[in-house]
Amino acid sequence: MFDSLQDQLQEVFDDLKGKGRLTEDDIRVAMRRVRMALLEADVSFKVVKSFVAKASARCMEADVLDSLTPAQNVIKVVLDELTSLLGETDARLNLQQGKHPNIIMLVGLQGSGKTTAAAKLAYLLKGEGHNPLLVACDVYRPAAADQLQTLGGEIGVRVYRGEGKDPVKIAKDGMQYAIDNLCDVAIVDTAGRLHVDEEMMAEAESIKAAVDPDEVLMVVDAMTGQDVVNVVETFSARVDFDGVIMSKMDGDARGGGALSIREATGKPIKFISSGEKPSSLEVFHPDRMARRILGMGDVVSLIESAVKVQQQEEEAEATERLRRMDLNLNDFLDMNRQIRKMGGVGKLISALPGGDKMMSQGQVDAHALDRMEVIINSMTKQEREKPDLINGSRRARIAAGAGVTVTAVNQLLKQYSETRKQVKKMMAAYGDFDERPGRKGRPKKGGKKGKKGGSRGRRMAMPGMGGMSLADLKKIQEMME
């Protein structure tokens, strides 16, 4: 009964796609599903209501209904409305040149991830050439200051802990400490507090009044439910924060709260925080968030992570081989490794529309790649380059070496030849990649785009995944735009 969000929308869109011309009733049906999808994504009830009303009105307009591809237009309308509600891309930190120190204050509920976010922010600023200071103002949670100190130590950022139990005094002393130590940005980490805790909210106000921060950021857990509206409204009224860091975005929560925050307070989401690594603080992209909330797969982020792991020479060589329409087991192994670098099959699949469903139904085995690699590693160099060499006795030897059955080796070879066939088909179907239509919403990476994009398309057939490839991804993406 609890279908994943993705499935619900997939169904809606499939229904709409089947129609040449949509009626108002169709739109109403689709919008009911969108409503449910948004609710399951934890978008606040009131926001869902007004959003659906707005999106429906937009969809009822003649140019949507009468167009040749109304279904796609409906999807586009929903996505566009969501994206625009989520705000501007360009929400930067309000840092003033020449001010010493610029002050950033972090607030939020308990367990939202403030301390971790503080360290990540410091790491980011340090990377931009600043000399940040972390100020530990959480005097309540046991060992909170120790935590900040440890994190600061790990990223090589100074931490001010202060004396006593008065966070306002610690914050003030911290500012002096920053001046004395030539730190140009001071990040004040405060205790987690409940919005209904009058005393603690008053304390947050006092800290703010005492240090007069240039930027107050609220850290909000991406998994927060309907209550997020109550929380951010109170925080907004009391400490009037400037922006939001959405934390724990590495989970699979849809993060519908982002939309609620935007609607309830008008404050922008500035960063998303995903993971334990200090480097995992990223700039917020409303379009990607919109897709995530709708469960449409974050294709752009996926492609970007693919870009990150590409190594040019390797790629050129592989492209060359593919041009000859010949794929050997070394390429196969390469692809496996690349997929792993992108976060593994699981991440790859769940970033695809409909992928979550496949994952949850166990259609995708996240460890298949590991097993393949073991088998390929048991082959000789020659066998990897010319898989056709592999006869019965070689198969038996490989199976023994990899500790698997001969059937497993056979299976791998079958998958390999499937993939090879796929690649050939792709090559035939796409001919010249450089001339395919441009993708909207994808950041252009200088002049390299055309060429690189093309070879990427050829490379990224995904072994063991039922013939899915990055080219299919592209098709899906185009379909959605």
Partner 1 sequence: MGLFSRFTEGLTRTREAFREDVNLLLNRSPEVDEDFWDGLEEALIVSDMGGYSAATIVDKLRNEATRKGLRNARDVLNALNDQIAAEFVEGGDEILGGEGSIVLFVGVNGSGKTTTTGKIAKQAKDAGRTVILGCGDTFRAAAIEQLEVWAQRAGVEICARERGSDPASVCYETIERGEAIGADLVLIDTAGRLHTSADLMRELEKVVSVVRKRANLPVHLVLVIDATTGQNGLQQAREFNNALDLDGVIITKLDGTAKGGIAVAVAHYLKLPIVKLGVGEGLEDLKDFDAHEYAAGLLGDFGQE
Asked if 109 touches partner 1 (CB under 8 A), the answer is yes
| Nearest to partner 1 of 214, 298 (CB atom) | 298
Contact 218, 195 (CB under 8 A): no
Which of 22, 79, 207, 253 binds partner 1 (CB under 8 A)? It is 253
Element (H, E) at 278: none
- Residues 357-386, one symbol each (x = binds partner 1 by CB under 8 A, - = not), give ---------x--------------------
- Calculate helix-pair angle for 5-17, 24-40, nearest 10 degrees: 170
Which of 19, 23, 24, 45 binds partner 1 (CB under 8 A)? It is 45
How near is the Cβ of 86 to partner 1 at its closest, in Å? 17
Which of 7, 166, 173, 250 binds partner 1 (CB under 8 A)? It is 250
How near is the Cβ of 294 to partner 1 at its closest, in Å? 14
How near is the Cβ of 189 to partner 1 at its closest, in Å? 12
| Nearest to partner 1 of 146, 326 (CB atom) | 146
Question: 199: exposed, middle or buried (C-beta count within 10 Å: 0-12, 13-18, 19+)?
Answer: exposed
Contact 190, 154 (CB under 8 A): no
Asked if 282 touches partner 1 (CB under 8 A), the answer is no
Which amino acid appears at position 126 of this protein? K
Q: 3-state DSSP call for residue 332?
A: helix
Q: How far apart are CA 185 and CA 125, in angstroms?
A: 8
CA dihedral 17, 22, 27, 29 (to 10 degrees): -70
Q: How far apart are CA 433 and CA 195, in angstroms?
A: 54
Q: Where are the alpha helices (DSSP H) in 131-166?
A: 144-155
Asked if 53 touches partner 1 (CB under 8 A), the answer is no
Which amino acid appears at position 478 of this protein? E
Asked if 42 touches partner 1 (CB under 8 A), the answer is yes
How near is the Cβ of 425 to partner 1 at its closest, in Å? 32
Q: 3-state DSSP call for residue 132?
A: strand
Contact 402, 374 (CB under 8 A): yes
Which amino acid appears at position 232 of this protein? V
| Nearest to partner 1 of 142, 392 (CB atom) | 142
Q: Which two tokens stand for residue 334?
A: 């390469």
- Residues 330-359, one symbol each (x = binds partner 1 by CB under 8 A, - = not), give --------------x-x-------------
- Distances from the Cα of 218 to the Cαs of 145, 187, 420, in angstroms? 19, 13, 50
| Nearest to partner 1 of 226, 378 (CB atom) | 226
- Residues 292-331, one symbol each (x = binds partner 1 by CB under 8 A, - = not), give ----------------------------------------
| Nearest to partner 1 of 340, 436 (CB atom) | 340
| Nearest to partner 1 of 182, 237 (CB atom) | 237
Q: 3-state DSSP call for residue 106?
A: strand
Contact 303, 478 (CB under 8 A): no
Asked if 237 touches partner 1 (CB under 8 A), the answer is no
Q: Kindly state the number of chain residues that form the binding site for partner 1, as judged by CB under 8 A.
A: 52
Asked if 78 touches partner 1 (CB under 8 A), the answer is no
Among 252-260, 297-305, 321-329, 334-342, which window interacts with partner 1 (CB under 8 A)?
252-260
Sign of CA dihedral 426, 429, 431, 434: negative
Contact 379, 358 (CB under 8 A): no
Asked if 190 touches partner 1 (CB under 8 A), the answer is no
Q: How far apart are CA 98 and CA 19, in angstroms?
A: 60
Asked if 34 touches partner 1 (CB under 8 A), the answer is no
Give per-residue burial for 432-453: e unless 16+ CB within 10 Å, then b. ebeebeebeebeeeeeebeebb
Residues from 143 through 172 that contact partner 1 (CB under 8 A): 143-151, 154
Which amino acid appears at position 100 of this protein? H
| Nearest to partner 1 of 40, 373 (CB atom) | 40
Q: How far apart are CA 385 and CA 414, in angstroms?
A: 16
Residue located via tokens 């690594």: 277
**DSSP 8-state symbol, 298:** -
How near is the Cβ of 244 to partner 1 at its closest, in Å? 15
Among 75-83, 135-143, 287-295, 320-328, which window interacts with partner 1 (CB under 8 A)?
135-143
Among 54-62, 134-142, 320-328, 426-434, which window interacts with partner 1 (CB under 8 A)?
134-142
Asked if 238 touches partner 1 (CB under 8 A), the answer is no
Residue located via tokens 């001919």: 431
| Nearest to partner 1 of 227, 478 (CB atom) | 227
Residues from 393 through 452 that contact partner 1 (CB under 8 A): none
| Nearest to partner 1 of 344, 454 (CB atom) | 344
Which of 208, 248, 291, 458 binds partner 1 (CB under 8 A)? It is 248
Element (H, E) at 189: strand 185-190
| Nearest to partner 1 of 71, 249 (CB atom) | 249
How near is the Cβ of 225 to partner 1 at its closest, in Å? 3
Q: Where are the alpha helices (DSSP H) in 240-285?
A: 257-265
User: Where along the sequence are the contacts to partner 1 (CB under 8 A)?
Assistant: 1-2, 35-36, 39-42, 44-45, 109-113, 140-151, 154, 194-196, 221, 223-228, 230-231, 248, 250-254, 256-257, 276, 344, 346, 366
